[in-house]
A = this chain, B = another copy of it.
Amino acid sequence: MSKKPNVLWIMADQLRFDYLSCYGHPHLQTPHIDALAARGIRFTNTYVQSPVCGPSRMSAYTGRYVRSHGSTWNGIPLRVGEPTLGDHLRKAGARAVLVGKTHMIADREGMAWLGIDPTSEIGVRVAECGFEAFERDDGLHPDSARQNWSAYDDYLVNLGYTSDNPWEDFANSGLDPDGELMSAWLLKNSRLPANVPEEHSETAYMTNRAIDFMTDAMQSDQPWLCHLSYIKPHWPYIVPAPYHDMYGPEHIVDPIRSESEKETDHPLLRAYQQARVCRSFSRDHVREHVIPAYMGLIKQLDDNLGRLFAWMDESGLSENTIVAFTSDHGDYMGDHWMGDKDFYHEVAAKVPLIIADPRPEADSTRGTTSDALVEMIDLAPTFMNALGCPPKPQVVEGRDLTPLLHGTDGFSRRYAISEHDYSSFEMARALDVAQEDARTVMIFDGRWKYVRCEGFRPVLFDLETDPNEFTDLGASEKAEHREVRARLEEALLAWSMQHHTRITVTPELLARQGKAAETGILIGFWDEAEYEASTGIPFKDLKPLGPPKAG
């Protein structure tokens, strides 16, 4: 087994930060995730770089902001040539292995243009977001662009679940009393048990596959990062027995919403509230149907993680494996009169993050919480550090969390940023917003959450006096609020103007280039004496230089 720590990076999909008992849910007990928190750090202020799967994950897997990697919404391919965490780790001799979902769309046009064979080793990695795909499963219909017939479909068929679409007909449907299939795409069917026993569910299957990978990996000294990426509790909201009826109305926490929010004069917020999914989740009977299933999915996930962690303990892997647990975004579930995700309230943009680091340097922080402002892109450099990979500041925009894990100084972040491209949404059509302008961006300083809405006035919440985000101060005339808006707008400009694409040059090379420019780029010297006086080099000894070689 490797001497270096391995990294098991677990991601749930669409898991709200507050639907875990260690984050304070009063009725949903998640003892295995809580136990992970007890041996690590629980972060209370972690924000995703986009409140939607695809761009959030492309940021997580590259350590870069959405405006940097350019995959701004689901279905927008990650360009060929965008370096990923997996690429960096491989260069440092580690494996970067995928078990589950990435939401990656391959840039087939770019690959064709650059002559990269999609079936080659490099081509496969470019198409898999830099991962070695031990198991790719995006939890989607077999006819989607992101996923063809999957190994999980094969698994179901081999177990006798015969169908043209076993993922849909068994794992994501229920049965009515007459044995008719009831699709979990329709919310009214959420309370049915899934048409598959728990041990054959996608969550259980993916847990098994992670164990398969780690069992294989134990045969080698090569350190690894395994990204175990669960589909659930993302919709379709349906869970196998017995989880489907573990929770009832008495376990549903009140929605975080206020009548005053409905009175907003903000065109974009109004358009959100009028969007189908938001109208739907604003109905109490929808919440009452869906939330118990959502809670059951999380409970099932926790039980599977308990099984996984027990196996890791037994096999000795826990001793040298850093385990991180997080999510790609939350789920409104009717809060703020909204459904799904796609905006920046806490329940959508904030995610759980727990990191348990077995190294002795982390002993002082076990069982503690950190209120540091963290971005999802901070994980990539943290894992790179753990696996002995040199930092790549010209590419990776996240900040290494290792100082927080080890209780030392060195981590700071003044603002968290998140971006959203709503050009494919009904809000864009309702408001007649052009594709290139259908953008919002959040900047949060730990107290003030400011959302720039292109073409509309901004939105502002004061989390200190209004932790529920009921009062939009984006149009407030109070001097304090005007000042805060101006300050955050300026911070946004400063961030936006930073280098996001200067990725081909290292700081060391830039410094060498500066040095070379002093002596080798011969502009402005009058004569030999002036050259020698300025550079200390006799002119006759000079070998004029072009820019130093890259590399």
| Chain A residues at the B interface, C-beta cutoff of 8 Å | 67-83, 87, 105-110, 113-116, 120, 122, 126, 138, 140-141, 143-147, 168, 183, 185-188, 235-236, 276-281, 283, 286, 339-340, 421, 423-426, 428-429, 435-436, 439, 441, 452, 454, 489, 492-494, 496-505, 507, 510-511, 513-514, 517-518, 522-528, 531, 534, 539, 543-551
Copies of this protein, total:
2
Given contacts A81-B114, A145-B547, A518-B426, contact A280 B525 (CB under 8 A): yes
> 28 A-B Cβ contacts within 8 A?
A71-B502, A73-B513, A75-B513, A79-B503, A81-B82, A105-B547, A138-B546, A140-B546, A141-B544, A143-B544, A143-B546, A144-B545, A144-B547, A145-B546, A147-B546, A186-B539, A188-B527, A276-B534, A277-B524, A283-B526, A340-B524, A423-B514, A425-B514, A426-B518, A436-B498, A441-B497, A493-B496, A496-B496
Given contacts A185-B522, A496-B493, contact A79 B81 (CB under 8 A): yes
| Minimal beta-carbon separation of A132 from chain B (angstroms) | 15
Given contacts A107-B504, A143-B545, contact A424 B525 (CB under 8 A): no
A492 to B539, alpha carbons, bound, how many Å? 44
| CB-defined contacts of A513 to chain B, threshold 8 Å | 73, 75, 424
CB < 8 Å: which of B109, B146, B441, B507 contacts A551?
A: B109
Given contacts A70-B501, A141-B544, A551-B108, contact A526 B280 (CB under 8 A): yes
| Minimal beta-carbon separation of A519 from chain B (angstroms) | 11
12 additional contacts (CB under 8 A) given A75-B548, A426-B517: A68-B501, A107-B504, A109-B551, A141-B543, A141-B545, A143-B543, A145-B546, A168-B544, A186-B522, A279-B524, A493-B493, A496-B496
Residue of B nearest to A419 (CB): B497
CB < 8 Å: which of B340, B436, B499 contacts A436?
A: B499
Residue of B nearest to A73 (CB): B513
| CB-defined contacts of A424 to chain B, threshold 8 Å | 510, 513-514, 517
Given contacts A493-B496, A497-B496, contact A115 B105 (CB under 8 A): no
| Minimal beta-carbon separation of A435 from chain B (angstroms) | 5
Across the interface, do B547 and A504 meet the contact criterion of CB distance under 8 Å? Answer: no
CB < 8 Å: which of B72, B146, B187, B277 contacts A499?
A: B72
| CB-defined contacts of A115 to chain B, threshold 8 Å | 116, 120, 122
Across the interface, do A186 and B525 meet the contact criterion of CB distance under 8 Å? Answer: yes
| Minimal beta-carbon separation of A341 from chain B (angstroms) | 10
Across the interface, do A548 and B498 meet the contact criterion of CB distance under 8 Å? Answer: no
CB < 8 Å: which of B77, B423, B439 contacts A497?
A: B439
A504 to B426, alpha carbons, bound, how many Å? 22
| Minimal beta-carbon separation of A491 from chain B (angstroms) | 11
| CB-defined contacts of A286 to chain B, threshold 8 Å | 526
A73 to B276, alpha carbons, bound, how many Å? 48
| Minimal beta-carbon separation of A233 from chain B (angstroms) | 14
